[in-house]
Amino acid sequence: MALFGKNKTEKKVEKVANKPATLTPHVVSASAAQIIVRPHITEKSGALSQTGVYTFEVVKGSSSQQISEAVQALYKVVPVKISVAPIRSKKRMLRGILGKTASGKKAYVYLKKGDTIEFI
């Protein structure tokens, strides 16, 4: 059936071959700064940081294990627990033009009682 185009299996092989490489947990030391985008600083996260919970914006495709290893590499602390939550995009209007904000992902990093993370 080469006359009519590619069959389904050939298309699937092409999709897998053209897919960008994903971050693996074994290469975290070089890409720890790529996984954690920035600290997510709000009133709620400021109140949570007093109890040992820190909030970070992370890359959409990252897993809890990758986030944990990135926090260990960047801040030299061992997280006890990590919760991941999506950041929804919201509709905004600017000068009569309707648009929307970017969506993302945030991670709540729980630390032991004595551990802290300093943001400068």
Q: What is the model's pLDDT at position 30?
A: 44
Cα–Cα distance, 109 to 64 (Å, whole number): 10
d(CA 63, CA 107): 10
Question: What are the residue ranges spanned by the domains of the chain?
Answer: 23-110
Token pair 């074994």 in the structure block, residue: 26
Whole-model pTM over 0.85: no
**CATH fold for the domain made of 23-110:** Alpha-Beta Plaits (3.30.70)
Q: If you search the block for the tokens 């290893």, which residue do you land on?
A: 69
Mean pLDDT of the chain: 83
- Is pLDDT at 26 greater than 70 in this prediction? no
The H or E element that residue 111 is part of is none
Higher pLDDT, 15 or 25: 15
Bridge partners, residue 81, by sequence: 110
* pLDDT of 21 strictly over 90: no
